């Protein structure tokens, strides 16, 4: 049985009939971390809300743990954990009280499933008497994850869990997700960060409500049909501006301290490129072939 099955799911908002989710279909296997990667407004949250039975789909259907999200929503609610993008625990209750409350409404206790949250909760323990609203961003996320986990869900829905969290906490967070996966929990996670995509077992790239592709992160990179060059010069702005106008170049965009360049012709070599760049009279210009990343895949899919 698949943890999540989504079939031609559609969601339309408002009188203008804005298509937020457009015929999206994918599956999440049991014990898998599936990442939905896409920019803001791509429709990720709408998909999450439909799968967690908070929003009714306008078309298609979806199953969670083999249960229909419309007809059997009551059963689904006992089996899934949902962590919304926005912190939504009681800010006026303490860490411990929040956790205790969510355990009890699921008819369980903190002790019973403590093993699931132990790794996270030990970091929270020093603040257990602090009001949830007074925690730092990273601590809030950890508490939210604890609360979503406390009833031992079969499927975990994490909507942008690391947005607004520092890099160290983000890394820790993903370590925890891997541990949860080992416990047999299937995880559907969304993120706007491309570096996190590589940590998922499979990823779906989503844009404008449409699912563009679903693949293993490594496969996605392997299937990338273009060469990628990393180019650099003292004046990056001028470099990108002039290369964009060049007929040999398909696309060029800033990528960290470098700019990534996709040539129009895959036969283009590094020396051809360097030769071309010399004409621009830029200081300290350099070019070298580089490995495509998920971000490159995503940018090319969008173009």
Partner 1 sequence: MKVIRFLLEKEFRQIFRNKSILAMILVLPTMQLIILPLAANYEVRNINLAVVDHDHSDWSAQLILKVTASGYFKLSAYEDNFAQSLTLIEQDKADLILEIPAGFEKNLVKEGNQKVMLSINAINGVKAGLGGAYLGTILRSFNEEIILRVANPQQLGVGGRAELTWSNWFNPTLNYNYFMVPGILAILVTMVGSFLTALNIVKEKEVGTIEQINVTPIKKHHFILGKLLPFMVLGNVVFTVGLLVSYFIYGIVPLGSLWVMYGFIQLYLPAVLGFGLLVSTFCETQQQAMFIMYFFMMVFILMGGLFTPIESMPDWARMVARFNPVSYLIQVMRMVVLKGSSWADIQYQAGIILLFGIVLNAMAILNYRKTN
296 contacts 224 by C-beta, under 8 angstroms: yes
- Residue 101 in the binding site for partner 1 (CB under 8 A): yes
Residue 39 CB, nearest distance to partner 1 (Å)? 22
Joined together, the tokens standing for residue 224 give: 């990338």
- Residue 169 in the binding site for partner 1 (CB under 8 A): no
- Residue 56 in the binding site for partner 1 (CB under 8 A): yes
186 contacts 32 by C-beta, under 8 angstroms: yes
In eight-state DSSP terms, residue 193 is: -
| Chosen residue from 8, 12, 19, 54 binding partner 1 by CB under 8 A | 54
Nearer to partner 1, 49 or 260 (CB): 49
Nearer to partner 1, 49 or 202 (CB): 49
Nearer to partner 1, 147 or 277 (CB): 147
Count of residues near partner 1 by CB under 8 A: 28
- Residue 14 in the binding site for partner 1 (CB under 8 A): no
Residue 256 CB, nearest distance to partner 1 (Å)? 34
Taking the C-alpha atoms of residue 270 and residue 266, their distance in angstroms, rounded to an integer, is 11
Rounded to 5 degrees, what are φ and ψ at 222? -60, -40
Taking the C-alpha atoms of residue 208 and residue 177, their distance in angstroms, rounded to an integer, is 27
Nearer to partner 1, 28 or 147 (CB): 147
Nearer to partner 1, 106 or 224 (CB): 106
Torsion of CA 122, 128, 134, 138, to 10 degrees: 10
51 contacts 68 by C-beta, under 8 angstroms: no
Residue 13 CB, nearest distance to partner 1 (Å)? 11
- Residue 43 in the binding site for partner 1 (CB under 8 A): no
Joined together, the tokens standing for residue 56 give: 């009714």
Taking the C-alpha atoms of residue 52 and residue 118, their distance in angstroms, rounded to an integer, is 25
> What residues between 63 and 92 interact with partner 1 by CB under 8 A?
73-74, 77-78, 80, 82, 84, 86-92
Residue 299 CB, nearest distance to partner 1 (Å)? 32
Nearer to partner 1, 96 or 172 (CB): 96
Residue in the structure block whose two tokens are 């009939």: 17
Taking the C-alpha atoms of residue 249 and residue 266, their distance in angstroms, rounded to an integer, is 10
- CA neighbours closer than 13 Å in the CB half-sphere of residue 26: 24
Taking the C-alpha atoms of residue 207 and residue 22, their distance in angstroms, rounded to an integer, is 10
Nearer to partner 1, 23 or 58 (CB): 58
- Residue 110 in the binding site for partner 1 (CB under 8 A): no
> What residues between 131 and 150 interact with partner 1 by CB under 8 A?
147
| Chosen residue from 39, 71, 105, 178 binding partner 1 by CB under 8 A | 105
Residue 92 CB, nearest distance to partner 1 (Å)? 5
In eight-state DSSP terms, residue 177 is: H
The H or E element that residue 25 is part of is strand 18-28
Query: What b/e sequence results for 105-123 when a residue is b if at least 16 CB atoms lie within 10 Å of its CB, and e otherwise?
Result: ebeeebeebeebbeebbeb
Nearer to partner 1, 86 or 178 (CB): 86
Residue 150 CB, nearest distance to partner 1 (Å)? 11
Binding interface with partner 1 (CB under 8 A): 52-56, 73-74, 77-78, 80, 82, 84, 86-93, 97, 101-102, 104-107, 147
């Amino acid at each position: 049985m698949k943890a999540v099955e989504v079939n031609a799911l559609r969601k339309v908002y408002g009188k203008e009939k804005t298509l937020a989710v457009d015929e999206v279909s994918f599956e999440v296997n049991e014990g898998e971390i599936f990442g939905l990667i896409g920019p803001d407004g791509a429709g990720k949250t709408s998909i999450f809300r439909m799968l967690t039975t908070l929003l009714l789909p306008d078309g298609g259907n979806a199953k969670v743990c083999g249960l229909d999200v419309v007809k059997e929503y009551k059963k689904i609610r006992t089996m899934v954990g949902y962590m919304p993008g926005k912190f939504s625990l009681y800010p006026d209750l303490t860490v411990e009280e929040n956790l205790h409350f969510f355990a009890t409404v699921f008819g369980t206790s903190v002790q019973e499933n403590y093993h699931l949250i132990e790794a996270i909760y030990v970091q929270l323990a020093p603040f257990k008497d602090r009001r949830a609203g007074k925690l730092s961003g990273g601590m809030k996320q950890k508490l939210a994850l604890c609360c979503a986990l406390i009833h031992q869900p079969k499927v975990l829905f994490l909507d942008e869990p690391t947005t607004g969290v520092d890099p160290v906490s983000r890394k820790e967070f993903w370590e925890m997700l891997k541990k949860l996966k080992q416990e047999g929990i299937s995880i559907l996670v969304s993120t706007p960060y491309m570096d996190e995509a590589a940590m998922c077992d499979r990823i779906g790239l989503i844009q404008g409500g449409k699912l563009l592709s679903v693949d293993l992160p490594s496969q996605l990179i392997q299937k990338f049909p273009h060469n990628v060059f990393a180019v650099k010069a003292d004046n990056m702005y001028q470099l990108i501006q002039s290369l964009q106008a060049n007929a040999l170049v398909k696309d060029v965009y800033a990528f960290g301290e470098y700019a990534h360049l996709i040539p129009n012709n895959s036969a283009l070599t590094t020396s051809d490129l360097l030769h071309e760049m010399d004409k621009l009279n830029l200081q300290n210009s350099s070019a070298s072939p580089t490995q495509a990343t998920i971000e490159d895949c995503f940018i090319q899919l969008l173009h």
